């Protein structure tokens, strides 16, 4: 694996918002280690007495980051875990309170380019699991889901217009032969829809993204991680999320708003102060040098302890 593993997006902005300079002996969590870009900056930006936990579901990310982050070993533990289980994972290490967590959602470039099923540009098995132990693959979704379930996936996660047509053609195709490879799906889509060369990439990306979100339970994981983060973050702790999909961004925005000052019934007496009135987006230079950053939106909030 190489330095091309993943180009971090909005990394300086995310890490600056994560580290509250007013706190000491901070416990910080990078819930999406990936290529270790954010974790490296967190290591560099923290002081003696601080400690960092970095989580990833994907073992390739863990191997890559271990090789890269040796300089920080004294104050870093890398853990192969789902961020949806962050509270339990840390409690197992005797940690019940943290000073901040960052989530940089989605996949690393390495996963898209080298792991099975994520890209329509290579012919690979329709797998798409970031975590090999997970039970569901993309082929299972295409071969086993009812038409109704397929519609939900493509409409909600892909925001695809005329998703009925796609669901119908998948249901018809699998009667002839079961889905096994990425190119089989890409060819079906191209034969069903009149897509031009110009919109081919966007359209196929949306379909593959929708399947990936379903296979990896990404929406549910995000909701669980947000709730647990609020519960275990101490006063002054920060929650920072970078998302690449409008549904994920909406979930983060609504979570921050519904737990922010002025709202009733805060979770465990904690309220959030929103630090980003508008989401932070990459500048033109970042988008130019890293096309994958173009849809990124960063939101951050700080915990205010009201009462216990």
Ligand X SMILES: C[S@@+](CC[C@H](N)C(=O)[O-])C[C@H]1O[C@@H](n2cnc3c(N)ncnc32)[C@H](O)[C@@H]1O
**Which residues are at the interface with ligand X (CB under 6 A)?**
6, 8, 11, 31-32, 34-38, 55-58, 61, 82-84, 104, 106-108, 130, 221
Burial state string for 16-34 with b = 16 or more CB within 10 A and e = fewer than 16: ebbbbeebeebbbbbbbbb
Contact partners, residue 139, CB within 8 Å, separation at least 6: 117, 125, 126, 127, 178, 179, 180
Nearer to ligand X among residue 235 and residue 281 (C-beta): 281
Nearer to ligand X among residue 28 and residue 186 (C-beta): 28
User: What whole-number distance in Å separates Cα of residue 102 and Cα of residue 16?
Assistant: 11
Q: Least CB distance from residue 2 to ligand X, whole Å? A: 13
Nearer to ligand X among residue 37 and residue 158 (C-beta): 37
- Closest CB to ligand X belongs to which residue? 34
Q: Least CB distance from residue 81 to ligand X, whole Å? A: 7
Q: Least CB distance from residue 16 to ligand X, whole Å? A: 14
Q: Least CB distance from residue 91 to ligand X, whole Å? A: 17
User: What whole-number distance in Å separates Cα of residue 226 and Cα of residue 228?
Assistant: 6
User: What whole-number distance in Å separates Cα of residue 152 and Cα of residue 262?
Assistant: 34
Nearer to ligand X among residue 20 and residue 82 (C-beta): 82
Helix (H) or strand (E) holding 87: helix 86-91
Both tokens of 99, joined, read 């000073």
Q: Least CB distance from residue 62 to ligand X, whole Å? A: 9
Nearer to ligand X among residue 104 and residue 302 (C-beta): 104
């Amino acid at each position: 694996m190489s330095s091309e593993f993943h180009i971090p997006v909005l990394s300086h902005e995310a890490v600056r918002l994560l580290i509250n300079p007013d706190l000491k002996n901070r416990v910080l969590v990078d819930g999406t280690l990936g290529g270790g870009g954010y974790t490296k900056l967190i290591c560099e930006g923290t002081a003696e007495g601080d400690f960092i936990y970095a989580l990833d579901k994907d073992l390739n990310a863990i191997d890559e980051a271990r090789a890269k982050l040796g300089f920080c070993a004294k104050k870093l533990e890398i853990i192969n875990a789902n961020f949806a289980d962050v509270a339990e994972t840390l409690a197992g290490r005797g940690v019940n309170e943290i000073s901040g967590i960052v989530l940089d959602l989605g996949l690393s470039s390495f996963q898209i380019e080298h792991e099975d099923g994520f890209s329509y540009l290579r012919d690979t098995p329709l797998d798409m699991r970031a975590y090999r132990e997970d039970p569901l693959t993309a082929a299972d979704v295409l071969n086993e889901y009812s038409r109704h379930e397929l519609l939900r996936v493509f409409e909600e996660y892909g925001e695809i217009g005329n998703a009925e047509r796609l669901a119908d053609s998948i249901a018809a195709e699998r009667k002839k032969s079961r889905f096994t490879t990425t190119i089989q799906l890409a060819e079906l889509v191209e034969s069903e829809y009149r897509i031009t060369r110009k919109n081919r990439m966007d359209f196929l990306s949306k379909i593959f993204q929708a399947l990936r979100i379903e296979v990896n339970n990404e929406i549910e994981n995000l909701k669980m991680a947000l709730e647990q983060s609020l519960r275990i973050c101490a006063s002054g702790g920060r929650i920072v999320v970078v998302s690449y999909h409008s549904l994920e961004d909406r979930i983060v925005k609504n979570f921050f708003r519904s737990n922010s000052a002025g709202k009733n019934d805060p979770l465990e007496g904690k309220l959030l102060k929103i630090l980003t009135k508008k989401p932070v987006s990459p500048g033109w230079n970042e988008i130019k040098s890293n096309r994958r950053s173009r849809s990124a939106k960063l939101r951050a909030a700080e915990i205010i302890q009201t009462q216990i």
